[in-house]
Amino acid sequence: MNDINLTLVVVSAALLGCGVYLLLERSLSRVLVGLVMMGNGVSLAFLVAGGPAGSAPIIGSESGDASEMADPLPQAMVLTAIVITLATTAFVLAMAYRSWQLNGHDDVQDDVEDAAIRRMAATDVTSEAYGAASDDEDTDVSDDPRESDETPAAPEPGGAAPLATALDAVPGTEPRP
Amino acid sequence: MLILVAALLAMSAACPWLVRRWGRRAFLIVALGPLAGTVWVAAQGPAISRGEVLSEAHPWVQSIGMELAFRMGALQWLLAMIVLGVGTLVLAYCTWYFRKDSLGVPRFAGVLTAFVAAMLGLVLADDLLLLYVFWELTTVFSFLLIGHDPARRASRQAAIQALVVTTFGGLSMLVGALILGHAGGTHRISELLADPPSGVAVTVAVHLLLVGAISKSALVPFHFWLPAAMAAPTPVSAYLHAASMVKAGVYLVALLAPVYAGVDGWRPVLLVLGIVTMLLGGLRALRQTDLKLLLAYGTVSQLGFLVMVLGIGTRSALLAGLGLMLAHGLFKATLFLVVGIIDRSAGTRDLRRLSGLGRKMPVVAGAAILAAASMAGVPPLLGYVAKESILVAMLDVAKEGDGTGLAGAVGWLALAGVVVGSLLTAAYSARFVWGAFATRDVEEQPSVAPVHAGFAAGPVILAGLSLALGFLGRPVTEMLAPYLEEVPEGVHHAELSLWHGLGLPLLLTLLALAGGALLFVFRAQVARLQSLWSLDWSFERAYRDGMRVLDRTAVEVTGVVQRGSASAYLAIILAVVVVVPGSTLIGAWSDIDVEAWEHPAQAVIGAVTVAGALMATRSRRRLRAVLLAGATGYGTALLFVMQGAPDLALTQVLVETLTVVVFVLALRRMPEYFTDRPLSRQRYWRMALGLAVALVSAGFMLVAAGARIADPVSLMLPQEAVDYGGGKNIVNVILVDARAWDTFGEITVLVAAATGVASLIFVNTRGTGIRRVHEIPYPPTVRKQPTSPGRRPWLAAPRTLPPESRSIIFEVVTRLMFHTIVVFSIYLLLVGHNEPGGGFAAGMVTGLALVVRYLVGGRYELDEAAPVDAGRLIGGGLAVAALAAVLPLAFGGSILQSAIVDLHLPALGKLHLVTSALFDIGVYLVVVGLVLDLLRALGSHIDRQVVRARRESEEELVNEPVAGETPGTEQEATRA
């Protein structure tokens, strides 16, 4: 069993740690920088797990036999990962630019629906799904004569309105030139 | 039997189309299905009465021993007749029930027919799990039928209530079925009944099955869903809530009673719940003013009665119970259908507003009176026959126990409860008849539309059957004899007959009828008494409070857990990574040999990389962070080189360069500094998380690398690479040959990313963006020298860039070297199979050449260098790669199989060609297209936006009343 190269381990771990710190940021470009560094860190981690250093995995005169070569299988995987990181970087950059164009900043926004649920939790109300399927009054159902079926009833406004207010609460969706 | 069920289900799928085609008349066609089923089942009657049993079994899920097993004995025969017969009549009734403008009729037809099929399957199923499947199918279909009009809140509420309550029962029934099946070693009901297991587990299982039966048949405490379900259309109530769905629980009790009635707690539970339900339902029914709700509470009461009687389990009780089940199915369906007729004709169901209907629809009134009399137990109708037999059976139990051990006080109490219940039943039957058909003083006489003959046919037929079967007690008893033989003979010979002799049962019947009549006559006083006693609390309140608590809990928990911010979710994921796999490191830490470095240079490069990473993290300026991240990338590439991965290092360097360029192009318009928010305390948490992740990953790497003790699989790769792959660069052979599918997926990701970038930046199309220099018009004062056609400008910058942004040396050198770089990239492409290189690296090199030309000369220089639509390049590359993948099929190989071709060319010599080069060419084109697309999107297009923004701000300045600023010539050139 060969010794493990501590330098590579430390470098990879440092890249991952810094990448994680940046990943949790709010500005999308910072998140992306963190993602790029994490990608580099993971590539190095693959190589560490791939065994000790060796000669290049190319069959020829100057490289040794198979046992002296570096393991080519993790290298193939890392190559794929590098290219896909490039694709991700390009796409997220386009997103950041577009977000800057529309909103003036490239911050990662909080989810609107979840904010609505948190508002519901804070004000101690029931959810819209519950309200649409119950009348939540304390009257005994059996004593009220219902209208006969097939008479068209007025559509319940309770279902539509809360959704509309939740959408209205989103700030700044008008596109800015 | 399977065919019958399957045929009905298939018919239900065709129903919506039938109804859309032929309107409401299609219901008559649809009713033919259950009619055929009724005829077939009736034809089996003689054989079944002789004691034969139809059974069939088809294997379905072998691993849990579940089969499509069906069995028709006497009990199943009776129920199948009820289900199919009443189903036929209800479906035919729907033809006249629905109006021309009724909504949702096609779907209704399909779902109702499917319900008939599911109920039939439930009754005939011989496998406990199959029974459960059909049970839940009926739950689902009843949900759809009750919620027929989803716009009304009452429908939604009732449907969900029914669904929740019956599903709760169904799930406990499933658990019971599984326990019973496990204890008995089989899921087949017939085998479980023939050889019943015993033990504590079996007792629990049987009680769980009872919970299912009780919830389905609307006994206390699950009774409240049935009155609420009256929000459904009347045919649904007539079928589901009178004749079929609620009978499922009763059927289950009848099925298990002969063998399992002796299980501990069976009889006490069913007796108590049954009688309480009977009395509660009867009392509530007396208070109702809506005819449909009156019948609903009456049904609740009758179901309690039925379950109690069948639960007793003696032979005479079982026979009497089945008789009552048949009678109830007939008279309740009649009454519901009559209510539907009243509703359609008079427009209201409120008995406070109805009057004089008896004279205006005599036939319907006659049928209703017959049915109500059967319900009250008036001779000679079937209801009376059944009730009389019940009283005989219960008297036997009360006097001597009759094998049930319930002699004495319990038996007499039960009998008393039954009598009181019958009393109430008679009272509300009278109330129904009086309320619906009597002539009274009402505010406004309702206008009554005439009733079509076909509309009234259903109730009339059912009422006639109630009358006729009253006289056919003996044949019915003989029909059911095989079922009854499972139970030992009781004190009296079990028989459904009109005359049981003068005795206590007859006296009790007369007492019940008289008491009911009295209650009816003094109805005003009774109503006053009831309103004094009305309870505020009900089981329905408990259910609704429970649902409200559940919803509130869900809202609170979701509000806490689901914060909605991406960084919170990422933090949770990373924390789990640290905790869960990280905790395994504690045990896996054996001795690990570590060396500081293999070469001191690694330490230096590593130190620089780490320093760059830390500084990138701390940087508050955008471009500085990007450049430092790029520095870490280059450091990584150098470490790759020292590790023995030249291909990797090459690709890493190229990709990192392109990344930095793309970053700068995209971020150049954004503010120089990241937003200056105040530094929050949260960053310490983030630092701690980053540190934890770093430590845990270091641990993973050490443990994983230390676990490499076996021979790696890549030891055999070199030989294979040369023999089969035809190449000496093993990594490249893996990418384009051995794992070419991965690479194909990878270039698809590149295509997707390019498309995403194009749609985000261009927003419309990308093809209109190519502009050539020769399209720029000359200013009017300049005369162009005549040149040969097609002559392209050697440098685009002179005509398109302002002088202060140009560097002539840079432009000339780039222009001279561009083609050399492209040739070099093609060399890398072709040599990649044997040396470091390959499609990716080659495409990146060409791409970087384009990048340099863009950076030097602007967007016109880029368009001169590559006047081709990037989308076509990318698509073409993907097509070439796909062609390379599929081509070997034409030669008899498999997809992506490569072949080695050795050619002798006359002038060039020997050519060792491997066909995976075609795939690599596709990869090359995709990568070049991607880079071109990125440059056009993030480079040229943003340039144009910058120019446009500047021009607009300058026009505002010009339009201000400040004198004489003429735009310079450079603006004219750049404006083109």
The C-alpha atoms of residue B66 and residue B60 are separated, in whole angstroms, by 6
Name the closest residue on chain B to residue A22, using Cα atoms: B617
Q: Is pLDDT larger for residue B242 or for residue B308?
A: B308
Do residues B349 and B291 lie in contact, with contact meaning Cβ atoms separated by under 8 Å? yes
The tens digit of pLDDT for each residue in B795-829 reads 888 888 888 888 999 999 999 999 999 999 999 99
> What average pLDDT does range B488-500 have in this prediction?
75
**Which of B531, B643, B683, B848 to mutate to test binding with chain A, by most A CBs within 10 Å of its CB?**
B643
**Which of B610, B722, B940, B944 to mutate to test binding with chain A, by most A CBs within 10 Å of its CB?**
B610
| Confidence band, pLDDT 50/70/90 cuts, at residue B540 | confident
Mean of per-residue pLDDT scores for chain B: 88
| A–B interface: beta-carbon pairs under 8 A | 407
ipTM field: 0.77
Selected residues 12-51 of chain A with any CB under 8 Å from a CB in chain B: 12-27, 29-30, 32-34, 36-37, 40-41, 43-45, 47-49, 51
Residues of A in contact with B713 (CB under 8 A): 73
Question: Are B551 and A124 a contacting pair at CB < 8 A?
Answer: no
The CA distances from residue B5 to A2, A12, A123, B138, in Å, are 69, 64, 51, 13
Q: How remote is the C-alpha of B738 from its chain's centroid? A: 39
* Strand, coil or helix: B789: coil
B86 vs chain A: nearest CA distance in angstroms? Answer: 22
The tens digit of pLDDT for each residue in B293-350 reads 999 999 999 999 999 999 888 888 899 999 999 999 999 999 999 999 998 888 888 8
b/e map of B544-567 (b: 16 or more CB within 10 Å)?
beebeeebbebbeebbeebbbbbb
B933 vs chain A: nearest CA distance in angstroms? Answer: 10
| Confidence band, pLDDT 50/70/90 cuts, at residue A1 | low
Q: Is the dihedral of CA B609, B611, B614, B619 positive or negative?
A: negative
Q: Is pLDDT larger for residue B88 or for residue A152?
A: B88
| Confidence band, pLDDT 50/70/90 cuts, at residue B694 | very high
Residues of A in contact with B704 (CB under 8 A): 48-49
> What average pLDDT does range B136-161 have in this prediction?
90
Do residues B811 and B800 lie in contact, with contact meaning Cβ atoms separated by under 8 Å? no
Count Cα neighbours of B223 within 13 Å in the Cβ-side half-sphere. Answer: 26
* pLDDT (0 to 100) of residue B901: 83
Residues of A in contact with B449 (CB under 8 A): none
Question: Are B667 and A132 a contacting pair at CB < 8 A?
Answer: no
Do residues B463 and B367 lie in contact, with contact meaning Cβ atoms separated by under 8 Å? yes
Q: Is the dihedral of CA B954, B956, B959, B961 positive or negative?
A: negative
Mean of per-residue pLDDT scores for chain A: 76
Question: Are B564 and A18 a contacting pair at CB < 8 A?
Answer: no
* pLDDT (0 to 100) of residue A157: 36
Name the closest residue on chain A to residue B711, using Cα atoms: A67
* pLDDT (0 to 100) of residue B536: 64
* pLDDT (0 to 100) of residue B492: 73
| Confidence band, pLDDT 50/70/90 cuts, at residue B428 | very high
* pLDDT (0 to 100) of residue B959: 83
Q: Is the pLDDT of residue B481 over 60?
A: yes
**Among the listed ranges B62-71, B220-229, B246-255, which one has the minimum average pLDDT value?**
B62-71
Question: Are B610 and A1 a contacting pair at CB < 8 A?
Answer: no
* pLDDT (0 to 100) of residue B816: 94
Name the closest residue on chain B to residue A26, using Cα atoms: B567
A20 vs chain B: nearest CA distance in angstroms? Answer: 5
* pLDDT (0 to 100) of residue B360: 85
Which one of B404-413, B926-935, B943-952 scores highest in mean pLDDT? B926-935
- Residue B812 neighbours by CB under 8 Å, 6+ apart: B795
A123 in B contact zone (CB under 8 Å): no
The tens digit of pLDDT for each residue in B607-617 reads 999 999 999 99
Closest CA to B9 of B140, B158, B110: B110
* pLDDT (0 to 100) of residue B78: 92
| Confidence band, pLDDT 50/70/90 cuts, at residue A141 | very low
Selected residues 126-165 of chain A with any CB under 8 Å from a CB in chain B: 126-127, 129-130, 132-136, 138, 140-143, 145-146, 148-150, 152-153, 155-156, 158
> What average pLDDT does range B711-729 have in this prediction?
84
The tens digit of pLDDT for each residue in B856-886 reads 988 889 998 998 999 999 999 999 999 999 9
Residue in B228, B690, B721 nearest the CB of A18? B690
A62 vs chain B: nearest CA distance in angstroms? Answer: 12
Q: Is the pLDDT of residue B721 over 50?
A: yes
> What average pLDDT does range B728-737 have in this prediction?
91
Residue in A91, A96, A135 nearest the CB of B756? A91
The C-alpha atoms of residue B65 and residue B771 are separated, in whole angstroms, by 72
The tens digit of pLDDT for each residue in A50-89 reads 888 888 888 876 666 767 888 899 999 999 999 999 999 9
Residue in B552, B596, B642 nearest the CB of A6? B596
Residues of B in contact with A100 (CB under 8 A): 669-670
Residues of B in contact with A79 (CB under 8 A): 647-648, 651, 731, 735, 840
* Strand, coil or helix: B59: strand
Name the closest residue on chain B to residue A72, using Cα atoms: B731
- Residue B524 neighbours by CB under 8 Å, 6+ apart: none
Question: Are A59 and B287 a contacting pair at CB < 8 A?
Answer: no
- Angle at CA A68, nearest 5°, toward B743 and B712? 55
List the helix and strand counts (H, then E) for chain A: 6, 1
Q: Is the pLDDT of residue B970 over 80?
A: no
> What average pLDDT does range A26-35 have in this prediction?
93
The tens digit of pLDDT for each residue in A114-132 reads 888 888 888 888 887 787 7
A100 in B contact zone (CB under 8 Å): yes
Q: Is the pLDDT of residue B692 over 90?
A: yes
> What average pLDDT does range B579-595 have in this prediction?
83
Residue in A22, A58, A140 nearest the CB of B617? A22
List phi, psi (to 5°) of B130: -65, -40
* pLDDT (0 to 100) of residue B768: 60
* pLDDT (0 to 100) of residue B961: 64
A75 in B contact zone (CB under 8 Å): yes
Q: Is pLDDT larger for residue B247 or for residue B500?
A: B247
The CA distances from residue B227 to B284, B469, B484, B969, in Å, are 11, 29, 33, 86
**Among the listed ranges B43-47, B374-378, B431-435, B481-485, which one has the minimum average pLDDT value?**
B481-485
Name the closest residue on chain B to residue A88, using Cα atoms: B753
* pLDDT (0 to 100) of residue B877: 96
* pLDDT (0 to 100) of residue B767: 57
> What average pLDDT does range B915-939 have in this prediction?
94
The tens digit of pLDDT for each residue in B383-402 reads 898 998 899 888 888 887 76
* pLDDT (0 to 100) of residue B358: 83
Q: Is the pLDDT of residue B416 over 50?
A: yes
Q: What percent of chain A has pLDDT over 70?
A: 71
Question: Are B625 and A30 a contacting pair at CB < 8 A?
Answer: yes
The C-alpha atoms of residue B732 and residue B774 are separated, in whole angstroms, by 42
* Strand, coil or helix: B237: helix
Retrieve residue B967's tokens: 């735009």
Other Cβ atoms within 10 Å of B708 Cβ, number: 16
Q: Is the pLDDT of residue A104 over 60?
A: yes
| Confidence band, pLDDT 50/70/90 cuts, at residue A140 | very low
Q: How remote is the C-alpha of A91 from its chain's centroid? A: 14
* Strand, coil or helix: B522: coil
Q: Is the pLDDT of residue A11 over 70?
A: yes
Size (chain A), residues: 177
* pLDDT (0 to 100) of residue B971: 45
Single pTM value for the model: 0.73
Q: Is pLDDT larger for residue A64 or for residue B158?
A: B158
Q: Is the pLDDT of residue B495 over 50?
A: yes
Residue corresponding to tokens 């493990």: A4
A103 vs chain B: nearest CA distance in angstroms? Answer: 12
Q: Is the pLDDT of residue A93 over 90?
A: yes
